[in-house]
């Protein structure tokens, strides 16, 4: 599946500029890349969250496609209803049968936590939609609260750093394992720094026979406490430290999409972000060691699966 950059550059952006995202936010980059990979008509849904807020302040919108805003938890079910209605109308002969794409974009709070049971239902019933998680690892829109996607040791407003706790005390939820347990035909992890990889995965997801899922790392300067020109560099570093590996699972087959030439230590990731600054204190070395052990364990398990040994 070859992507030609010159041809992509000629396509109309289905997500218009002029939105109100924070400077340096990776979410609009991911949305643009995903929509540029789409061939044919598409219907989009998104729940309450950063994307909804900055893309549709009344009376303006950045969406150049049919777009639905639903509640925080049920964008996946809302879009599944649209997909079902479309199939019904085609079956009744009321509209022509032509390829149609359905994509939901949700933040990690709306995906890992609040919307998990709705997403699970959609995957279990087999609706042919693509769900893209814009994963900035916290509830950024409502004040940087921890979510199920927040890594161990992270400072957030609900996991403050102090004498009682040194940031979040749990590891992040393994959502990919939960999603794959539904037996869906396609799921992947991605990052906008690897645009060709993300767009190729989008095409594979939309072409799959059933529901699909992409978890995309989305840097947030406000919540991560980083400069606003680092979104792409942070995505690359996440892949190089194996904090956020790039891989896909297609009909049960695991494929590693990127292997760093030199696996960097997790401290290289931590020192780039203010939300982890307290972890560089020698007093918190045990947490850093736990993070490194978890990254190493997950990376080793991923390699085993991708090499067919598990």
pLDDT tens-place string over residues 53-82: 999 999 999 999 999 999 999 999 999 999
Please state, in angstroms and as integers, the Cα–Cα distance from residue 130 to each residue in 77, 78, 103, 141, 253, following that order: 12, 13, 5, 23, 19
What are the DSSP E strand ranges found in 160-237?
186-190, 212-217
Question: What is the number of structural domains in the chain?
Answer: 1
DSSP of 92-109, one letter per residue? Answer: TTSS-----EEEEEEEHI
pLDDT tens-place string over residues 139-163: 999 999 999 999 999 999 999 999 9
Flag whether pLDDT at 21 surpasses 90: yes
Which residue range is the domain that position 297 belongs to? 5-306
DSSP of 17-42, one letter per residue? Answer: S---PPTT-SHHHHHHHHHHT--S-E
Residue 288: both structure tokens together: 């850093």
What is the structure's pLDDT at 308? 76
Query: What is the rounded distance in angstroms from the CA atom of residue 151 to the CA atom of residue 291?
Result: 9
Phi and psi angles of residue 186, each rounded to the nearest 5 degrees, phi first: -150, 135
pLDDT tens-place string over residues 192-215: 999 999 999 999 999 999 999 999
Phi and psi angles of residue 38, each rounded to the nearest 5 degrees, phi first: -80, 135
pLDDT tens-place string over residues 113-144: 999 999 999 999 999 999 999 999 999 999 99
3-class DSSP assignment, residue 159: strand
Residue 241: both structure tokens together: 């430290």
CATH number of the domain encompassing residue 49: 3.40.50.970
């Amino acid at each position: 599946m070859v992507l030609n950059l010159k041809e992509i550059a000629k396509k109309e952006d289905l997500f218009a500029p002029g939105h109100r995202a924070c400077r340096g936010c990776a979410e609009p980059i991911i949305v643009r890349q995903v929509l540029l990979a789409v061939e044919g008509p598409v219907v989009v849904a998104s729940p309450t969250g950063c994307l909804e807020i900055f893309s549709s302040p009344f009376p303006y919108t950045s969406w150049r496609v049919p777009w639905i805003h639903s509640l925080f938890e049920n964008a996946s079910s809302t879009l599944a209803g649209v997909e079902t209605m479309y199939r019904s109308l085609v079956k009744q002969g009321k509209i022509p049968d032509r390829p149609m794409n359905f994509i939901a974009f949700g933040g990690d709070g709306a995906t890992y936590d609040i919307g998990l049971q709705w997403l699970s239902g959609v995957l279990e019933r087999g609706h042919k939609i693509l769900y893209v998680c814009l994963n900035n690892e916290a509830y950024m829109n409502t004040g940087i609260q921890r979510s199920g996607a927040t890594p161990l040791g992270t400072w957030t407003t609900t996991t403050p750093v102090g004498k009682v706790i040194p940031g979040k005390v749990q590891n992040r939820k393994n959502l990919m394992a939960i999603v794959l347990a539904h037996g869906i035909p396609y799921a992947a992890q991605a990052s906008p720094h690897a645009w060709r990889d993300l767009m190729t995965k989008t095409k594979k997801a939309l072409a799959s026979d059933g529901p699909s899922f992409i978890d995309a790392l989305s840097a947030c300067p406000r919540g991560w406490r980083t400069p606003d020109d680092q979104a792409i560099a942070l995505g690359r570093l996440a892949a190089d430290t194996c904090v956020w590996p790039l891989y896909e699972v297609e009909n049960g087959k695991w494929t590693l999409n990127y292997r760093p030439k030199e696996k960097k230590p997790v401290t290289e990731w931590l020192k780039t972000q203010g939300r982890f600054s307290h972890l560089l204190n020698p007093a918190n070395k045990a947490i850093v060691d736990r993070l490194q052990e978890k990254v190493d364990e997950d990376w080793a398990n991923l390699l085993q699966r991708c090499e067919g040994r598990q």
